[in-house]
Amino acid sequence: MYRFSLGDRRWQFRTLADLMAKATPARSGDRLAGIMAHTAEERVVAQMALAELPLKTFLNDALIPYEQDEVTRLILDDHDGAAFEPISHLTVGDFRNWLLSDLATPEMLARIRAGVTPEMAAAVCKIMRNQDLILVAAKCRVTTAFRSTIGLPGRMSTRLQPNHPTDDITGIAASILDGLLYGSGDAVLGINPATDNVAQSVRLLHLMDEVIRKYGIPTQSCVLTHVTNTLEAIEQKAPVDLVFQSIGGTEATNESFGFNLATLAEARDAALSLKRGTVGNNVMYFETGQGSALSADAHHGVDQQTCEARAYAVARKFDPLLVNTVVGFIGPEYLFDGKEITRAGLEDHFCGKLLGLPMGCDICYTNHAEADQNDMDNLLTLLGVAGCNFIMGIPGSDDIMLNYQTTSFHDALYLRRVLDKRPAPEFEQWLTKMQIFRDTEGKEPADGLPEAFRASLAHLPGERPDGELPDE
């Protein structure tokens, strides 16, 4: 039982999970789960009670029992006491002050990472305003590499997402070309397959591998299929760069996704054995999103933001190249509108970075959510300021396979210009070398069709050999 007095009124919270849920800024998923604060006042009282809690509490009071959940076991067994030492005396409220203070330099934040549990990150997140989440995340530096280096200061990368509703090869190639010529794809070329089986995945892996090799693109490819499909693809000698999996923050969520921690370890070993990286060996690509545990009926009464932070413990174990919170995809029953999506995007990015993950964000919405392009522009800009490692890039924001809207190739160029961000260094050099961009910083696309792509386009019906548009 957790108690708090305010004036002559006494408040009680049944469990730590109850206190955490009540302290969470309002969102539809926690309302759907029936665990949200009943009043605005109760929420702030819960935040005040949470602020007084020593960080050590989270090492002794597990939100989901150790015996029942392998993610809890992972979190507690891997906790690094030495890294925790500099912050071990703090309460959650003090931790917020410390994070915002000049004591928390980028170096210091890197030092304490392994001592911070997801629950500590989630707790302090609940008492931070949006600008706090941005400021602290901007101090957390996380760099990863495979054929490009992602997350360096002043850089912002993109996943080129050339999805097509029937996996049509020409359609996918057209979107890849469009993206490359807009300077997108330095984080990964990543396809969500329309037909999710091993044969189709292998076919798409070859497609991307051939393009990467022909044009010498310093990037990596990924087919976002189930981890067990990718394992089979590796056995079939397919050119696998990254292993993908959607992950959640409880064992039961991951079980509903059809894997456990051992599966991920096996897949990572298999991908590492291929030795396909040139500048680094981060071989995992994870996607997450608030609401997945509730959706799988596997949340144990824990609020969706805390479940999400626990998913980062799973990600952290496997040294990923990319972790992508797909923030607005799940729908309005979990994040209702632009305001809730914005808050969740900033929370996820902050918690992930604090825990040491290469966080990116699929800044997105569905057509049944109360959100639009203006909300996405806002979150994109905020995450750019917060130092988000990568975002999605898709033609004209419209994913014609998954039927949702995410950030476009144009959006990434907007962010690079207003915030003076550059692509990954290896990719930036390639863009200039290939005459795709006029400048050396990935900000000014060339006007015409670059020489290297003219031959490919010359043979298409209706295309003139010089690549110019025929007269209309």
Partner 1 sequence: MSNSTPIVTDNAWRRLSACTDARIGLGRAGISLPTREMLAFQLAHAQARDAVHLHLDTDRLMAELAALESPVLKHGPVYLESQATDRMTYLQRPDLGRRLSQRSCDRLDELGHTGDAPVDLALVVADGLSSYGVQKNTLPFLDALMNELGADANHWELAPIVVVSQGRVAIGDDIGHRLNARCVVVLIGERPGLSSPDSLGLYLTWGPRPGLTDASRNCISNIRPAGLKASAASQRLVYLLRESRRQQVSGVPLKDRSEDLVIEQGIENFLLR
Binding-site residue positions: 159-161, 192-193, 245, 287, 295, 362, 401
In this structure, what DSSP letter does residue 337 have?
B
Say whether residue 229 binds partner 1 (CB under 8 A).
no
* Residues contributing to the annotated binding site for substrate: 159-161, 192, 287, 362
Q: Tokens 């693109």 belong to which residue?
A: 217
Nearest to 246 by CA among 259, 230, 231: 259
The residue range among 75-83, 282-290, 351-359, 401-409 that interacts with partner 1, by the rule CB under 8 A, is 401-409
Q: Which amino acid is at 140?
A: C
* Shortest distance in whole angstroms from residue 404 CB to partner 1: 7
Residue 200 in contact with partner 1, rule: CB under 8 A:
yes
177 binds partner 1 (CB under 8 A): yes
Among 366, 381, 429, 432, contact with partner 1 (rule: CB under 8 A): 366
The residue (of 144 and 229) whose beta carbon lies closer to partner 1 is: 229
Nearer to partner 1, 85 or 235 (CB): 235
Distance CA 150, CA 72 (A): 29
Residues 17-36 binding partner 1 (CB under 8 A) are 28, 31-32
CA torsion sign for 144, 150, 151, 154 is positive
Terminal alpha carbon distance of the chain: 73
Q: How far apart are CA 353 and CA 315, in angstroms?
A: 12
Helix or strand run (H / E) with residue 404 = strand 404-405
Return the bridge partners of 246, or none.
287
32 in Cβ contact with 62 (< 8 Å):
no
**Calpha distance 149→143 (Å, rounded):** 7
Of the pair 51, 380, the CB lying nearest partner 1 is at: 380
Tokens of 348: 């996820």
Does residue 373 interact with partner 1 by CB under 8 A?
yes
Tell me which residues in 288-317 interact with partner 1 (CB under 8 A): none
Size of the site for partner 1 (CB under 8 A): 73
Contact assessment for residue 190 and residue 326, using Cβ atoms and an 8 Å cutoff: no
Instruction: Count other Cβ atoms within 10 Å, centred on residue 65.
Output: 10
Residue 368 · residue 332 · CB < 8 Å: yes
Which one, 32 or 108, has the nearer CB to partner 1?
32
460 binds partner 1 (CB under 8 A): yes
Distances (CA, A) of 227 to 243, 245, 259, 366: 7, 6, 8, 26
471 scored as a contact of partner 1 (CB under 8 A): no
Could you say which of 140, 248, 408, 428 contacts partner 1 (CB under 8 A)?
A: 408
Cα–Cα distance list, 101 to 98, 123, 309, 324, 366 (Å): 5, 18, 23, 28, 38
Residues 24, 91, 397, 406: which binds partner 1 (CB under 8 A)? 397
> Does residue 339 touch partner 1 according to CB under 8 A?
no
Minimum Å distance from CB 60 to partner 1?
35
Instruction: Please provide residue 352's backbone torsions phi and psi, each rounded to the nearest 5 degrees.
Output: -60, -45
Please state the residue numbers annotated as binding site for adenosylcob(III)alamin: 193, 245, 295, 401
Q: What are phi and psi of 84, to 5 degrees?
A: -75, -25
**Residue 124: CB minimum distance to partner 1, A:** 28
**Does residue number 207 form part of the binding site for partner 1 (CB under 8 A)?**
yes
CB of 465 to partner 1, least distance (A): 12
| C-beta of 181 vs 311, nearer to partner 1 | 181
> Using CB under 8 A, which residues numbered 150 to 169 contact partner 1?
162, 164-169
CA–CA separation, 55 and 91 (whole Å): 5
User: Which range binds partner 1 by CB under 8 A, 67-75, 83-91, 131-139, 366-374?
Assistant: 366-374
Please tell me what DSSP assigns to residue 25.
P
For position 195 contacting partner 1 by CB under 8 A, the verdict is yes
Nearer to partner 1, 164 or 422 (CB): 164
> Which of 12, 131, 403, 440 contacts partner 1 by CB under 8 A?
403
Q: Tokens standing for 112?
A: 């304490």
322 has which bridge partners? 285
Binding of partner 1 by 404 (CB under 8 A): yes
Cβ proximity to partner 1, 306 vs 407, nearer residue = 407
CB closer to partner 1 out of 108 and 446: 446
- Which of 112, 128, 176, 380 binds partner 1 (CB under 8 A)? It is 176
